[in-house]
């Protein structure tokens, strides 16, 4: 009889019958947009200098420190927010730009429609 009760208790502990399924599903926090927080990594800035790059995903900022060998310390060399960068279609970039790509795609679609007799696939 004791063995049967122990088996029932063990099964209840494993299956967690005292909690509904929804409560078990919400047991761990869910990240909605991927990685969050502040990340740091090293990299080479020039032939002879190295730095530490920092990215704050939540605030939408990044900054970089350079190791000053002479003084033996880190110096902030650049920082910016990318919060509004995503709204730019084209800025300081080599071609083709978005307008040119759109025109090329339209030309390709027109040729495809002409080759297939106006039937899209």
**What are the pLDDT digits (tens) for 39-77?**
999 999 999 888 999 999 989 999 999 988 888 888 999
43: left (phi > 0), else alpha (psi -120 to 50), else beta?
A: beta
CA pair distance 46, 39, nearest whole angstrom? 22
- Residue 51, judged by CB atoms within 10 A of its CB (0-12, 13-18, 19+), counts as buried
Q: What is the pLDDT of residue 64?
A: 95
Could you tell me the domains of the chain?
35-92 (2.20.25)
Q: pTM higher than 0.85, yes or no? A: no
What totals of helices (H) and strands (E) does the chain contain, helices first? 3, 4
CA pair distance 51, 69, nearest whole angstrom? 11
Distances (CA, A) of 18 to 4, 82, 112: 19, 47, 61
């Amino acid at each position: 009889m004791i063995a049967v009760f122990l088996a029932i208790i063990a099964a209840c502990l494993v299956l967690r019958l005292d909690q509904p399924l929804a409560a078990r599903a919400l047991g761990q926090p869910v990240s909605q947009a991927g990685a969050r927080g502040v990340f740091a990594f090293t990299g080479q800035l020039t032939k002879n200098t190295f730095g530490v790059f920092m990215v704050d995903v939540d605030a939408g900022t990044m900054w970089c420190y350079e190791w000053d060998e002479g003084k033996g310390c880190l110096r902030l060399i650049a920082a910016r927010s990318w919060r509004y960068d995503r709204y730019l279609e084209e800025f300081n970039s080599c071609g083709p730009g978005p307008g040119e790509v759109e025109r090329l795609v339209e030309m390709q679609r027109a040729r495809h429609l002409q080759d297939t007799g106006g039937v899209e696939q």
